[in-house]
Amino acid sequence: MGLLENKKIVITGVLTDASLAYGVAQIALDEGADIVLTGAGRALRLTQRTARKLEHPNGDAIDVFELDVTVPEHGIAVREALAEKWGRVDGVLHAVAFAPESCLGEDFMGAPWDDVATAMHISAYSLKALADAFVPLMGDGGSFVGLDFDNRQAWPAYNWMGVAKSALQSVSRYLARELGPKGIRSNLIAAGPIKTMAAKSIPGFAAFEEPWDGRAPLGWDVTNSEPVARSVAALLSDWFPATTGEIIHVDGGYHAIGA
């Protein structure tokens, strides 16, 4: 029996087959889950195209729903569709982040509030928005898993996206507090750097990538998202039943090493 046999899982954030969420989607299918994907805005078409690359054990097509995390009506529409399709949701992957150009790069001071607000809305508040959408379908408990980048220190170029990640960590803890009594967990995976579309849009990403492999005791391959995907699958499964509000580093051990 697969780790996620019979689990009904909503996967946000699949854009290309390099997306961290794509790896999660494939492992979830391999481990027996039923999944749907969500996509947003102009990228929805790309998500639909990428969905066809996933290998479903039964050869079935995978549904893709429109869900821009800043549009509450989308969340309600997906919930209604899933109430009909599945009657429940067991797990949700939050793999959504965006920051306008002014928020990334060399000029931390240059980002105007409107741009910072956009980054916070899409990258942090959105976890709560997904909870609004799907908690009503989690009658028997459930698991939210979000993708984080450890922001205990300031990084080159990451700037306001780093601030948004700190906010995401806090949102996850408050959700853990709020939803624990319903048997619903909220946890984050703090991933090491992986070459995805989002990562490529960060000018200076190479400054993260280059030292990572050398410093991480287990080593780190920026082109292999499987370690992240496997860890997400574990958190979505029943094998972390007493863990919530947690941040698990999946970074080759980089965070634990001083120099």
Ligand X SMILES: NC(=O)c1ccc[n+]([C@@H]2O[C@H](COP(=O)([O-])OP(=O)(O)OC[C@H]3O[C@@H](n4cnc5c(N)ncnc54)[C@H](O)[C@@H]3O)[C@@H](O)[C@H]2O)c1
Write out the catalytic residue numbers.
158, 165
Choose, by CB under 6 A, the member of 9, 20, 62, 103 that binds ligand X. Answer: 20
Residue 96 near ligand X by CB under 6 A: yes
- Choices 48-56, 57-65, 67-75, 99-107; region in contact with ligand X by CB under 6 A: 67-75
Nearer to ligand X, 82 or 198 (CB): 198
- The residue among 68, 15, 19 whose CA lies nearest residue 232 is 19
Q: Which is nearer to ligand X, 142 or 192 (CB)?
A: 192
Upper half-sphere CA count for residue 124 (Cβ side, 13 Å): 21
Check binding of 186 to ligand X (CB under 6 A). Answer: no
CB under 6 A: which stretch of 79-87, 145-153, 174-182, 210-218 binds ligand X?
145-153
Q: How far is the CB of 58 from ligand X (least distance, A)?
A: 25
Which residues contact ligand X by CB under 6 A? 12-16, 19-21, 39-40, 43, 68-70, 95-98, 122, 147-149, 191, 193-194, 196-199
